A and B are shown apart, each in its own frame.
Chain A
Amino acid sequence: MTAPVSPSVAPLRAEFGAAVERHLISCGDTIIYVSRERSHDALAWLKDTPGQEFDYLTDVTAVDYRDPERPLEVVYQLRSLARRADLRVKVALDKRRPLEVRSVWDLWKGADWLEREVYDMFGVTFAGHPDLRRILMWDTYAEGFPLRKDFPLRGHFSRAEQTRQALAANPEAHYSLEELSIADAFAELPKDMQERLARGERGFLR
């Protein structure tokens, strides 16, 4: 059983040339690989071009393969609600270089939490995302990125260390910097948090 290639592949190749690296079909779904540099342009083109109209972002996720040489892939599941068509776009990220790709938050607001989750779980940074913080793990989580293949199932730290850190957690640190800036509570912050803030570790203070 060979499924047809998505009709979006040929126009995308015509528009972006070599930036469309390859395409393949798996279980009937077409998968297009685009280069990291042009990924945002290609996704914006797919969203806005008449005849494509992929106006709905079903999902953003990433895949880290068991082969450590293989690049990490950021996966976008696109859908055109009008045409009832799906398309999967992938961006391969070389692990020897910084894992960074341009955010699609400006195209789809639904990408907000999805990209935060990919950042949280895989350590991929999305340039242009307005609020790239951890989302499922807590802000001070220091063990790394859980869904990477080099992350052990039980975490990097020992059970004793994990318990110690949990018990020593500072309840003040459960507010994001943005929230603390609303309440003008910088002076009341615990010292370690003030220092982290001064180093500009995350967020910004208005």
Chain B
Amino acid sequence: MSLRTVEMALATPGADREGRPIRVPLGVAEPAGGHYDEDFGAEHMLVNIGPQHPATHGVLRLVVELEGETVKRVIPHVGYLHTGFEKLGEYRFYNQIIPLTDRTDYLAPMANNVGLALAVEKLMGIEVTERCRVLRVIACELSRIISHLVWLGTTGIDLGAFTPFLWSFQERERVYNLQEAWTGARLTPSVTRVGGMMADIPEGWEAGLREFIQTFPKTLREVDTMFTRNSIWIGRTQGVGVLTREEAINYSLSGPMLRASGVDYDVRKDRPYLGYDEYDFDVPVGEHGDIYDRYRIRLEEMTQSTRILEQALAKLRPGPINVDDPRVILPPKHRAMSDMEAMIYHFKQVMEGVKPPAGEAYFGIENPKGELGYYFVSDGTAKPVRWRIRPPAFINLSSLPKMCEGALLSDVIAINASVDIVMGEVDR
């Protein structure tokens, strides 16, 4: 393992003078005779972890083949939470699919809503209003923060650190309060609509967000103090679950997993949507591809998200949140009640739904877990022929057997935590 770029000397016990963590060699001490009993450790052991296990972050089941304490093979079993969202979507209007997206990656529901609206808008060739774009950026970045906070807290618990879990969940609660004030729902906000938003932010909401942005970095600094130079944390994470740059690309990883391996690809930068190219923010990229780099990247992404939120608040100008397009947006109630044409539009939209032209579109956005893609195939009717979710957590998880090869059993828990899975999305 190469020397890491941890800036400060490690003050905690378990580190040598140069700041490198001292690794306690694991394994059985060599017997006095110099050789082991022939039978010792020859038999492989099969260990079943999950589906009901707190460290699998949901209903994931791992069957682990062990030789002593070394992992020979990990065989993941998924599908315990399979709901058939993609099939359900084929029986629904486009706007009715938005509540389904809440329930896939339920740790970042608002970002999923945004992705879905953008995909349908690409299919229909709709450009949303400026205020809507800024509101959607706010929704995406708040989702990134709460998703990474859950990751941070639960991963800390998996590795034996309880306190950061309480800090991160406290902060997450504040975002949930904002989410509730905006949408009326905490977990399933369904905040977007095709061509706009479900609701504008209420009065005083901006002040609440501003207060959050100002106080949240303090918690991040505390987490940084707790983890970044902590020798236990470093010993458990550095050099564990390593994927090289080539492997990360070959396994189709995305998001922080891909960037931790040194691939500089972020959809927000490389395929800007919602005007992300107008925001000033940095994309952290790792170099070792291990759990520690994934941690550093997620921590830094939260800081960058607060930067983006700050700029978004500055950009937020009064204006309409919905496009002026009767094909997708309901007319205001008072017009639907008094104007014949508006009433017809209202009736057609409620009864027949939004009808994109025949064609197909794939739209990927940078979700907290990775690239979330929605692929729609339309035949001109109000219900999609095919709605495909490109699930970042599912694809990232498929590299788990590779990362666990030759690791220790306790590393499996750490590696699995570092993938940042959410089973609602893995199983869909």
Contact with B along A106-136 (1 / 0, CB 8 A): 0011111110010001000000000000111
- Does A198 sit at the interface, judged by CB under 8 A? no
A184 → chain B closest CB, angstroms: 9
Docked-complex contact B271 and A84, CB < 8 angstroms: yes
Q: Which residue of B lies closest to A75 (CB)?
A: B375
Contact with B along A143-187 (1 / 0, CB 8 A): 000110001010000000000000000000011101100110000
> Within the assembled complex, what's the spacing in Å between the Cα atoms of A57 and B394?
14
Residue numbers in A under 8 Å from B184 (CB-CB): none
Q: Which residue of B lies closest to A182 (CB)?
A: B65
Contact of B379 among A1, A27, A65, A176 (CB under 8 A): A65
Docked-complex contact B373 and A58, CB < 8 angstroms: yes
- Does A199 sit at the interface, judged by CB under 8 A? no
Q: Which residue of A lies closest to B356 (CB)?
A: A27
Docked-complex contact B75 and A58, CB < 8 angstroms: no
Residue numbers in A under 8 Å from B319 (CB-CB): none
> Within the assembled complex, what's the spacing in Å between the Cα atoms of A182 and B64?
10
Docked-complex contact A29 and B75, CB < 8 angstroms: no
**CB contact list, B342-374 vs A, under 8 A:** 359-362, 364, 371, 373
**CB contact list, A1-51 vs B, under 8 A:** 1, 26-29, 31
Q: For the complex, would chain B's binding face be called helix, strand, loop or mixed by DSSP majority?
A: mixed
Contact of B86 among A84, A112, A147 (CB under 8 A): A147
Contact with A along B2-42 (1 / 0, CB 8 A): 00000000000000000000000000000000000000000
Contact of B390 among A29, A59, A112, A151 (CB under 8 A): A59
- Does A77 sit at the interface, judged by CB under 8 A? yes
> Within the assembled complex, what's the spacing in Å between the Cα atoms of A163 and B388?
28
- Does A61 sit at the interface, judged by CB under 8 A? yes
A155 → chain B closest CB, angstroms: 9
How many CB-defined contacts (below 8 Å) exist between A and B? 119
Contact of A88 among B252, B362, B427 (CB under 8 A): B362
- Does B249 sit at the interface, judged by CB under 8 A? yes
- Contacts A137-B79, A138-B79 known; A63 to B371 CB distance under 8 Å? no
- Does A100 sit at the interface, judged by CB under 8 A? no
- Does A205 sit at the interface, judged by CB under 8 A? no
> Within the assembled complex, what's the spacing in Å between the Cα atoms of A64 and B379?
12
Docked-complex contact A146 and B359, CB < 8 angstroms: no
> Within the assembled complex, what's the spacing in Å between the Cα atoms of A137 and B44?
28
B418 → chain A closest CB, angstroms: 18
Docked-complex contact B375 and A153, CB < 8 angstroms: no
- Does A66 sit at the interface, judged by CB under 8 A? yes
A25 → chain B closest CB, angstroms: 9
Docked-complex contact A136 and B398, CB < 8 angstroms: no
> Within the assembled complex, what's the spacing in Å between the Cα atoms of A137 and B428?
11
**CB contact list, A51-102 vs B, under 8 A:** 55-59, 61, 63-66, 75, 77, 81, 84, 86, 88
Docked-complex contact A59 and B373, CB < 8 angstroms: yes
> Within the assembled complex, what's the spacing in Å between the Cα atoms of A114 and B270?
24
- Contacts A136-B428, A175-B63 known; A56 to B249 CB distance under 8 Å? yes
Contact of A58 among B251, B252, B385 (CB under 8 A): B252
A86 → chain B closest CB, angstroms: 8
- Does B265 sit at the interface, judged by CB under 8 A? yes
A130 → chain B closest CB, angstroms: 12
Residue numbers in A under 8 Å from B123 (CB-CB): 27
- Contacts A110-B252, A179-B46 known; A136 to B427 CB distance under 8 Å? yes
- Does B215 sit at the interface, judged by CB under 8 A? no
- Does B186 sit at the interface, judged by CB under 8 A? no
Docked-complex contact B361 and A27, CB < 8 angstroms: yes
- Does B296 sit at the interface, judged by CB under 8 A? no
> Within the assembled complex, what's the spacing in Å between the Cα atoms of A64 and B46?
40
> Within the assembled complex, what's the spacing in Å between the Cα atoms of A58 and B44?
36
- Contacts A81-B263, A182-B65 known; A109 to B395 CB distance under 8 Å? no
Residue numbers in A under 8 Å from B160 (CB-CB): none
Docked-complex contact B398 and A112, CB < 8 angstroms: yes
Docked-complex contact B270 and A146, CB < 8 angstroms: no
Residue numbers in B under 8 Å from A27 (CB-CB): 122-123, 125, 359-361
Q: Which residue of B lies closest to A141 (CB)?
A: B79
A190 → chain B closest CB, angstroms: 17
**CB contact list, B43-92 vs A, under 8 A:** 44, 46, 63, 65, 73, 75, 77-79, 82, 84, 86-88, 91
A61 → chain B closest CB, angstroms: 5
> Within the assembled complex, what's the spacing in Å between the Cα atoms of A66 and B360?
15
> Within the assembled complex, what's the spacing in Å between the Cα atoms of A175 and B359?
42
- Does B377 sit at the interface, judged by CB under 8 A? yes
- Does B250 sit at the interface, judged by CB under 8 A? yes
Contact of A110 among B88, B251, B364, B427 (CB under 8 A): B251
- Does B229 sit at the interface, judged by CB under 8 A? no
> Within the assembled complex, what's the spacing in Å between the Cα atoms of A121 and B427?
12
Docked-complex contact A58 and B84, CB < 8 angstroms: no
A-to-B contact residues, CB < 8 Å: 1, 26-29, 31, 55-59, 61, 63-66, 75, 77, 81, 84, 86, 88, 108-114, 117, 121, 134-138, 146-147, 151, 153, 174-176, 178-179, 182-183
13 A-B interface contacts by CB (under 8 A): A26-B361, A27-B359, A29-B362, A58-B390, A59-B362, A66-B385, A77-B362, A77-B373, A77-B390, A113-B394, A114-B395, A121-B86, A153-B91
Query: Which 3 residue pairs of A and B lie closest in terms of their CB atoms, listed nearest first?
Result: A110-B252, A113-B398, A136-B79
List 18 additional contacts besides A109-B250, A110-B395; criterion CB under 8 Å.
A27-B125, A29-B361, A58-B252, A59-B373, A61-B388, A63-B377, A77-B390, A81-B263, A86-B362, A108-B250, A108-B251, A110-B251, A110-B252, A113-B398, A137-B79, A153-B87, A178-B75, A182-B44
